[in-house]
């Protein structure tokens, strides 16, 4: 099968071949999707900051004190 045509086409000709190249298709996809990509990046950043803020365990915690610290964090 030729990569110039859709997989549903049995015979690839100039008429049913893709009219747009890979670089242009990727550029168009990124331009259409930039908002959702930005929103996803912001959500990941907020989740990371929240995890660091609320679940940070200091380096000074000793194993025998860990259960006390965890019981204070858990609701």
Q: What is the pLDDT of residues 3-60, one digit of tens each?
A: 677 777 778 877 777 787 888 888 998 899 999 999 999 999 998 888 777 666 555 5
Question: Cβ neighbours of residue 57 under 8 Å, at least 6 residues apart?
Answer: 69
Domain count, the chain: 1
Is 19 domain-assigned? no
Instruction: State the pTM of this model.
Output: 0.44
Is 59 domain-assigned? yes
CB 5 within 8 A of CB 16: yes
CB 61 within 8 A of CB 69: yes
Is 44 domain-assigned? yes
Domain that holds residue 44: 34-73
37: part of which helix (H) or strand (E)? helix 22-54
Is 50 domain-assigned? yes
Pseudo-torsion of CA 27, 30, 32, 38, nearest 10°?
A: -160
Is 22 domain-assigned? no
If one compares 70 and 51, the residue with the highest pLDDT of the two is: 51
Residue 47 tokens, joined: 């989740």
Q: What is the pLDDT of residue 35?
A: 92
Is 25 domain-assigned? no
Is 61 domain-assigned? yes
Q: What is the pLDDT of residue 11?
A: 81
């Amino acid at each position: 099968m030729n990569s110039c045509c859709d997989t549903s086409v049995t015979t690839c000709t100039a008429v049913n071949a893709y009219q747009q190249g890979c670089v242009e298709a990727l550029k168009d996809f990124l331009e259409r999707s930039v908002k959702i990509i930005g929103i996803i990046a912001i959500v990941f950043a907020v989740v990371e900051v929240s995890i660091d803020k609320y679940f940070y365990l200091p380096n000074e915690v000793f194993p025998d004190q860990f259960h006390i610290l965890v019981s204070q964090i858990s609701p």
